């Protein structure tokens, strides 16, 4: 008995960490690497429920990365060499819209980059990546226990917290200064402390992995169509097939396998129509007949690696960072929608805020104010992303609206969030205050404009029912988008960063006004060159066209926006 107690006591005493991370998925592993990078002697324990290494390909979703997360993985965490050697380079997001003959891929309006992209991003095999990051973080001194299921957490304001976990049937306890919940949808702390928040965005999903490489270039013999891009570039894109109420993804993985998934609005595509593999295949037969023809034979026998479903998977949270030394990161907090692949962007930002708090606290700083500001900024960030998705699955059957929306959403994403992230603005309290806390702060204006445009896209829907075909549109045909995307990695001096955000916001205002002019002139017959106050844009009410806030068309941006207009129209710019 004495021996047992003494042994337990010794083990107990040794088991103290600066940080215990609950869950070793993408969020937990990247957090550990970020902390180790800044403070190599920090003591970290990762408790991961899974018993063994992650399987290749058939592991998790979250395979497509976009610019912000790519910057985080490559530059902030230093994984550039690993990514270039072991994961696939990605050729942007690619969209195919509804046509009258979906069996012919060449008839569908296609949106995606033609030429290789200057800003890198990757397609991730989540199994390969998580196994690599687990090894890397262990090499850096992190303790990482597999088969460790977290069973409870005791918070102590004045002393160390306690984390309980079960390993090999035995409950163990460790003490720590910080608890970071990275348990994904298990959301250990959210459930324990009851800080769930209702989420008004409802979508469902089913996904599966198929053995082998699927290159959509092989889905037709049309050489002209194939030759629009270098061979294999379409293959490297995250491919989306869209129609009203849904999108179907095809993502290539570095392990030479392919990820396929359906995401749909239940009001338009009830979950029961695709929530088993057999039903998902039947669903494709009806909605995506070419994908059905090409994919169904590959899913026979061993070709089908896995099949998973998630119902109503968007979720929100009331809490993220606490000055009492706990926080949530990744999917254990909020998750909105995988359209545009923003999941790992949210993790990048989440971990950047969280690691900053942990490192400051360990250095003896009082983090109360920062924890509050970061939490408010993070929650506001989630809320400002929500309108991008909410109700928007209704728009997915309209190529014209979706092209405008996708280009708008990209312009916004590249010109503000990416620029702020790359320039470390999110942990700069002074900048955050100027952007978001002042009455006329640029951040507030930006959020207002963005919300107005999202509402406007919905207002446009009743007027827009034409099916367009045989068109190719490249985001980089628009000089503005080219400019925004290639400027992501520019590092600005602090004093110039706000000026740059102001310049970008002005361009966004021009872009919003230009989109509005085209649409309003088509559906309401308003003058195509009218002045518009972008903050009053609507099809269902009064628009300010006369005050000093109403802006004239900028020839450069109006012309750019006309590039994505499919209707025959004399150019406003040429007619000026
Ligand atoms: C349909 C769909 C498609 C998506 N596509 C993309 C995409 O293309 N790009 C993108 O960036 N994001 C995408 N996402 C989001 C992405 O999947 C998530 O952002 C990401 O996987 C979340 O990582 P995480 O580490 O928070 O959670 P997870 O990866 O789920 O990791 C949580 C870990 O915690 C462990 N765990 C759980 N409970 C316990 C416990 N009690 N004790 C110990 N360990 C525990 C689990 O085993 C797991 O390993 C998609 C999401 C969905 C639903």
Task: Say how far apart CA 461 and CA 459 lie, in whole Å.
Answer: 6
DSSP string for residues in 487-500: TTT----HHHHHHH
Task: Say how far apart CA 36 and CA 44 lie, in whole Å.
Answer: 9
Task: Say how far apart CA 349 and CA 355 lie, in whole Å.
Answer: 10
Task: Say how far apart CA 247 and CA 392 lie, in whole Å.
Answer: 12
Task: Say how far apart CA 458 and CA 57 lie, in whole Å.
Answer: 37
Closest CA to 237 of 96, 343, 337: 96
Domain boundary among 276, 310, 344: 310
Q: 65: Cβ below 6 Å to ligand 1?
A: yes
| pLDDT of amino acid 552 | 96
DSSP assignment, residue 220? -
Beta bridge partners of 146: 48
**Would you call 307 helix, strand, or coil by DSSP?**
strand
CATH assignment at residue 34: 3.50.50.60
Domain boundary among 354, 383, 412: 383
Q: Which domain holds residue 378?
A: 2-59+126-193+315-383
Domain boundary among 250, 285, 310: 310
- Whether residue 70 lies inside any domain: the answer is no
**Would you call 46 helix, strand, or coil by DSSP?**
strand
| pLDDT of amino acid 435 | 86
Q: Residue 136: in which H helix or E strand, if any?
A: helix 126-139
Q: 341: Cβ below 6 Å to ligand 1?
A: yes
For 413-449, how does the pLDDT look when each residue is reduced to its tens digit (9 = 90+)?
Answer: 999 999 999 999 999 999 998 888 777 788 889 999 9
Residue 431 tokens read as: 């900048």
Ligand 1 centroid distance, CA of 43 (Å)? 24
Expressed in angstroms, the distance from the first to the final Cα of the chain is 93
* 573 in Cβ contact with 555 (< 8 Å): yes
Q: Does 540 have pLDDT greater than 50?
A: yes
Closest CA to 26 of 360, 344, 381: 344
Which atom of ligand 1 has the smallest separation from the CA of 66? 11
Residue 89 tokens read as: 């380079």
Q: Please give the backbone phi and psi of residue 221, each rounded to the nearest 5 degrees, phi first.
A: -100, 0
Parallel, antiparallel, or unpaired for β 44-48 and 16-22? parallel
Are 429 and 511 in a shared domain? yes
Confidence class for position 572, pLDDT limits 50, 70, 90: low
Confidence class for position 570, pLDDT limits 50, 70, 90: low
Beta bridge partners of 260: 208, 250
Task: Say how far apart CA 25 and CA 480 lie, in whole Å.
Answer: 37
| Plot region of 22 (φ>0 → left; ψ -120 to 50 → alpha; else → beta) | beta
Q: 47: Cβ below 6 Å to ligand 1?
A: yes
Which atom of ligand 1 has the smallest separation from the CA of 183? 34
Q: 50: Cβ below 6 Å to ligand 1?
A: yes
- Whether residue 213 lies inside any domain: the answer is yes
For 217-249, how does the pLDDT look when each residue is reduced to its tens digit (9 = 90+)?
Answer: 999 999 999 999 999 999 999 999 999 999 999
Q: 350: Cβ below 6 Å to ligand 1?
A: no
CATH assignment at residue 267: 3.30.9
How far is residue 343 CA from its own chain's centroid? Answer: 4
Are 186 and 258 in a shared domain? no
Closest CA to 197 of 315, 328, 97: 315
| pLDDT of amino acid 119 | 87
Residue nearest to atom 21 of ligand 1 (CA): 62
Which atom of ligand 1 has the smallest separation from the CA of 263? 1
How far is residue 54 CA from its own chain's centroid? Answer: 22
Are 431 and 537 in a shared domain? yes
| pLDDT of amino acid 146 | 98
Are 43 and 150 in a shared domain? yes
| pLDDT of amino acid 438 | 78
Task: Say how far apart CA 93 and CA 490 lie, in whole Å.
Answer: 22
Task: Say how far apart CA 363 and CA 28 lie, in whole Å.
Answer: 22
- Whether residue 69 lies inside any domain: the answer is no
Confidence class for position 571, pLDDT limits 50, 70, 90: low
Confidence class for position 576, pLDDT limits 50, 70, 90: very low
- For the entire predicted model, the pTM comes to 0.95
Confidence class for position 6, pLDDT limits 50, 70, 90: very low
Q: Rg for the chain (alpha carbons), in Å? A: 25
Ligand 1 centroid distance, CA of 350 (Å)? 14
- Whether residue 75 lies inside any domain: the answer is no
Closest CA to 497 of 556, 415, 400: 415
Q: Please give the backbone phi and psi of residue 127, each rounded to the nearest 5 degrees, phi first.
A: -65, -50
- Whether residue 76 lies inside any domain: the answer is no
Residues constituting the chain: 576
Q: 225: Cβ below 6 Å to ligand 1?
A: no
Are 437 and 495 in a shared domain? yes
Residue 160 tokens read as: 């160390």
Q: Kindly state the average pLDDT of the residues 34-44.
A: 98
Q: Does 339 have pLDDT greater than 80?
A: yes
Q: 337: Cβ below 6 Å to ligand 1?
A: no
Are 30 and 115 in a shared domain? no
Are 566 and 449 in a shared domain? yes
Instruction: Compute the mean pLDDT over every residue in the chain, rounded to the nearest whole number.
Output: 94
- Whether residue 477 lies inside any domain: the answer is yes
Q: Residue 42: in which H helix or E strand, if any?
A: none
* 205 in Cβ contact with 261 (< 8 Å): yes
Confidence class for position 524, pLDDT limits 50, 70, 90: very high
Q: 259: Cβ below 6 Å to ligand 1?
A: no
Pocket test for ligand 1, best of 94, 129, 343 (most atoms within 8 A of CB): 343
Task: Say how far apart CA 72 and CA 218 lie, in whole Å.
Answer: 34
Q: Does 15 have pLDDT greater than 60?
A: yes
Q: Does 378 have pLDDT greater than 50?
A: yes
Ligand 1 centroid distance, CA of 314 (Å)? 13
Task: Say how far apart CA 127 and CA 367 lie, in whole Å.
Answer: 35
DSSP assignment, residue 192? H
Q: Residue 206: in which H helix or E strand, if any?
A: strand 204-211
Are 412 and 529 in a shared domain? yes
Task: Say how far apart CA 479 and CA 476 lie, in whole Å.
Answer: 6
- Whether residue 73 lies inside any domain: the answer is no
For residue 252, give Cα distances in angstroms to 84, 87, 297, 440.
Answer: 15, 10, 18, 44
For residue 226, give Cα distances in angstroms to 113, 215, 234, 472.
Answer: 14, 11, 9, 12
Quote the Cα angle for 455-413-28, to 5°: 115
How far is residue 364 CA from its own chain's centroid? Answer: 34
Q: Does 5 have pLDDT greater than 50?
A: no
Task: Say how far apart CA 537 and CA 533 lie, in whole Å.
Answer: 7
Are 26 and 107 in a shared domain? no
Are 423 and 533 in a shared domain? yes
Q: Kindly state the average pLDDT of the residues 283-305.
A: 97
Q: 24: Cβ below 6 Å to ligand 1?
A: yes
Q: Kindly state the average pLDDT of the residues 132-143.
A: 98
Q: Kindly state the average pLDDT of the residues 328-351.
A: 97
| pLDDT of amino acid 59 | 86
Q: Does 8 have pLDDT greater than 80?
A: no
Confidence class for position 11, pLDDT limits 50, 70, 90: very low
Q: Which residue has the higher pLDDT, 570 or 63?
A: 63
- Whether residue 454 lies inside any domain: the answer is yes
Which atom of ligand 1 has the smallest separation from the CA of 64? 8
Are 288 and 324 in a shared domain? no
| pLDDT of amino acid 436 | 81
Are 339 and 415 in a shared domain? no
**Would you call 321 helix, strand, or coil by DSSP?**
strand
Q: 60: Cβ below 6 Å to ligand 1?
A: yes
Q: 558: Cβ below 6 Å to ligand 1?
A: no
The domain total for the chain is: 3
Closest CA to 77 of 427, 347, 327: 347
For 51-100, how does the pLDDT look when each residue is reduced to its tens digit (9 = 90+)?
Answer: 999 998 888 998 999 999 999 999 999 999 999 999 999 999 999 999 99
């Amino acid at each position: 008995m004495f021996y047992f107690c003494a042994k337990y006591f010794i083990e107990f005493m040794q088991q103290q960490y600066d940080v215990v991370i609950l869950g070793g998925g993408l969020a937990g592993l990247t957090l550990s690497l970020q902390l180790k990078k800044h403070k190599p002697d920090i003591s970290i324990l990762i408790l991961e429920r899974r018993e063994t290494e992650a399987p290749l390909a058939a592991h998790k979703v979250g395979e497509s990365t976009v610019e912000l997360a790519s910057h985080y993985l490559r530059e902030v965490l230093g994984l550039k060499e690993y990514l270039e050697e072991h994961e696939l380079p990605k050729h942007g997001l690619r969209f195919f819209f509804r046509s009258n003959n979906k069996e012919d891929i060449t008839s569908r309006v296609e949106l995606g980059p033609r030429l290789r992209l200057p800003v890198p991003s990757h397609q991730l095999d989540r199994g390969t990546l998580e196994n690599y990051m687990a090894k890397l973080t262990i090499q850096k001194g992190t303790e990482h226990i597999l088969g460790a299921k977290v069973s409870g957490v005791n918070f102590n304001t004045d002393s160390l917290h306690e984390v309980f976990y079960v390993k090999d049937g035995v409950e163990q306890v460790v003490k720590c200064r910080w608890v970071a919940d990275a348990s994904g949808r298990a959301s250990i702390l959210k459930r324990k402390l009851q800080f769930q928040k209702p989420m008004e965005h409802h979508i469902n999903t089913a996904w599966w992995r198929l053995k082998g490489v699927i290159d959509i270039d092989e889905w037709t013999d049309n050489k002209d169509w194939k030759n629009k891009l270098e061979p294999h570039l379409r293959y490297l894109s995250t491919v989306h097939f869209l129609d009203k109420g849904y999108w179907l993804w095809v993502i290539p993985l570095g392990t030479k396998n392919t990820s396929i998934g359906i995401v749909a609005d239940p009001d338009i595509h009830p979950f029961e129509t695709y929530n088993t593999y057999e039903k998902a295949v039947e669903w494709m037969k009806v909605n995506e007949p070419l994908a059905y023809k090409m994919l169904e034979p590959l899913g026979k026998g061993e070709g089908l690696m896995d099949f998973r479903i998630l119902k109503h998977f968007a979720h929100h949270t009331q809490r993220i960072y606490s000055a009492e030394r706990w926080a949530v990161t990744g999917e254990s907090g909020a998750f909105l929608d995988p359209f545009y692949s923003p999941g790992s962007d949210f993790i990048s930002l989440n971990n950047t805020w969280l690691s900053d708090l942990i490192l400051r606290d360990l250095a003896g700083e009082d983090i109360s104010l920062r924890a509050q500001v970061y939490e408010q900024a993070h929650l506001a960030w989630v809320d400002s992303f929500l309108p991008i998705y909410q109700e928007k699955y209704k728009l997915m059957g309209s190529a014209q609206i979706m092209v405008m929306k996708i280009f708008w959403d990209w312009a916004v994403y590249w010109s503000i969030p990416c620029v702020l992230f790359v320039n470390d603005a999110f942990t700069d309290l002074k900048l955050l205050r100027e952007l978001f806390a002042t009455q006329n702060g640029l951040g507030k204006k930006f959020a207002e404009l963005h919300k107005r445009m999202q509402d406007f896209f919905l207002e446009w829907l009743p007027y827009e029912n034409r099916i367009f075909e045989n068109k190719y549109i490249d985001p980089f045909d628009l000089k503005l988008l080219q400019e925004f995307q290639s400027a992501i990695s520019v590092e600005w001096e602090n004093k110039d960063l706000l000026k740059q955000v102001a310049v970008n916001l002005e361009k966004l205002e021009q872009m919003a006004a230009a989109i509005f002019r085209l649409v309003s002139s088509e559906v309401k017959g308003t003058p195509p060159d009218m002045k518009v106050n972008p903050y009053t844009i609507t099809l269902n009410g009064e628009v300010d066209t006369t005050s000093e806030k109403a802006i004239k068309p900028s020839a450069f941006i109006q012309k750019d926006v006309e590039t994505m207009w499919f209707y025959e129209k004399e150019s406003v710019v040429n007619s000026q």
